[in-house]
Structure 1
Amino acid sequence: MTQRGFASAPCYMRDLDDDAGAVWPADPGNAVDVARWRKAMRENLIDARLCLTPRKQAVAVRQIAAALDAHVGPCEGANIAVYWPLRGEPDLRDWMRGAVARGARIALPEVVGKAQPLVFREWVPGCAMRRDALNIPVPDTIGQLTPEIVIAPVVGVDAQGYRLGYGCGFYDRTLAALTPRPRAIGVGHLLARLPTINPLGHDIPMDAVILADPARAGVQ
């Protein structure tokens, strides 16, 4: 597990030229340039993790689950937000089931509207599900849960813990709005690590990052 500090070594990156949307260096002082750079980088990193074999994905999930057990500790009574896996994200649903069995309350994020913070709906194994504003499965319940820990998937992440997501800013907006602010843990594959995401003023760093490397015994 990383506490805001690692070298950069993405294990795969698609080669693109400028006309095809290359991953050019961004000017950190230019928000438009940063947005273009992030879009290109995001597409490459998602492509990379979608190329991981099912075996590598399974190994990564086991590594992340073990690291979460060590980091989160006893789950009884804890309110923990996780996520529904999409587009090659590590699938933590077995870990979620185990956490519920150990006494945690697990929640999934719901997108309720553009430029609004996420809300969190309590999830239990087998509960009824529906689709949110972005067509992502969420528990079909009215009640909300305020998380003490937020486990967020990363597309990319840098040595300071700044997270590259899908570009809508939902997690940054949510972490800024929650009081008290929950502990944020980013999870993903080792290929997600970057020297920098060129953070802007609205970006909020993760408190800890767990990156799995199926080629090694542990996590980075």
Structure 2
Amino acid sequence: MTGDDHNARGYASPPCLAHEIDPAYFDPLATDAAQTRDVVRWRKAERVRLLAERAALPVAVRQDAAARIMPHLETVIRARFGRIEGLTISAWWPIKAELNLRHWLVDLVGRGATVALPVVLTAGTPLVFRRWTPDCPIVQGIWKIPVPAEGPEVVPDVTLAPVVGWDTAGFRLGYGGGYFDRTLAALTPRPFAIGIGLQAAQVQTIFPLPHDIAMDVIVTEAGPHAP
């Protein structure tokens, strides 16, 4: 987009009104404070829209999507590691109409994988991961999200993260707290990161900022989407 194009189309000061911007014009490495504020506002509105659309789906539709995602996950993980057995895989306890993969997690434990759930120990710090089994004690963590009450902390080989929205560059739109990106940045070696969500939650771009970390692959009911 040229300066003339910008003026002709009547955009606000770049990149105000992020939903109007040509993604090719947006600079993800920019540090302009106004740009960042506009992206944050756009993400907040987009998050509200996508969460409302997901919550409005019948339970049966979400269950069908989860069932279709599970074999795709198996394919992606086996393609990367050649196995499921012996891997440590972190997932999530579903909230806010998130896709429920717990039946698959139970199956993973039965096949010799270690399953972990993320735990917030201190607000604003990277997540830790505690081992989960179907019969382990569960308590309410921060924001009343169920977490394992006790048990060893583990480092995942694979991290599964629910997405509110996603784009074809592999970036995920989450809930806005930045916990997952902060955690991936802190883990060494970095785990294989898989974002999981609905095909309908795809957006053209989330307008990534410097702190955003792309997933290695996004998996939806339609299949895997590698950047």
Residue 165 of structure 1 aligns with which residue?
174
Tell me the TM-score normalized by structure 2. Answer: 0.81
* Identity across the alignment (%): 43
Residue ranges of structure 2 left out of the alignment (5+ in a row): 1-16
CA distance in 1, matches of 2:189, 2:18: 37
Greater radius of gyration (CA): 2
Q: Which has the higher helix share?
A: 2
Q: Which runs of 4+ in 1 moved over 4 A?
A: 26-29
Residue ranges of structure 1 left out of the alignment (5+ in a row): 1-21
Aligned residues: 195
CA distance in 2, matches of 1:88, 1:25: 29
Residue 18 of structure 1 aligns with which residue?
none
Quote the offset at 1:132 in angstroms.
1.5
Quick one: which of 85, 90, 102 aligns to 2:99? 90
Quote the offset at 1:144 in angstroms.
0.2
CA distance in 2, matches of 1:174, 1:201: 15
Quote the offset at 1:113 in angstroms.
2.0
CA distance in 2, matches of 1:219, 1:59: 16
Aligned 1:40-79 pairs, distance under 5 A = 40-73=45-78, 74-79=83-88
CA distance in 1, matches of 2:170, 2:224: 16
Residue 118 of structure 1 aligns with which residue?
127
Quote the offset at 1:58 in angstroms.
1.4
Tell me the TM-score normalized by structure 1. Answer: 0.84
Q: Higher relative contact order at CA 8 Å, sep ≥6: structure 1 or structure 2?
A: 1
Residue 211 of structure 2 aligns with which residue?
202
| AA in 2 matched with 1:129 | I
| Structure 1 residue matching 2:166: 3-state secondary structure | strand
Q: CA RMSD in A?
A: 1.7
CA distance in 2, matches of 1:83, 1:109: 7
CA distance in 2, matches of 1:118, 1:131: 15
Residue 36 of structure 2 aligns with which residue?
31
Residue 181 of structure 1 aligns with which residue?
190
Quote the offset at 1:199 in angstroms.
0.3
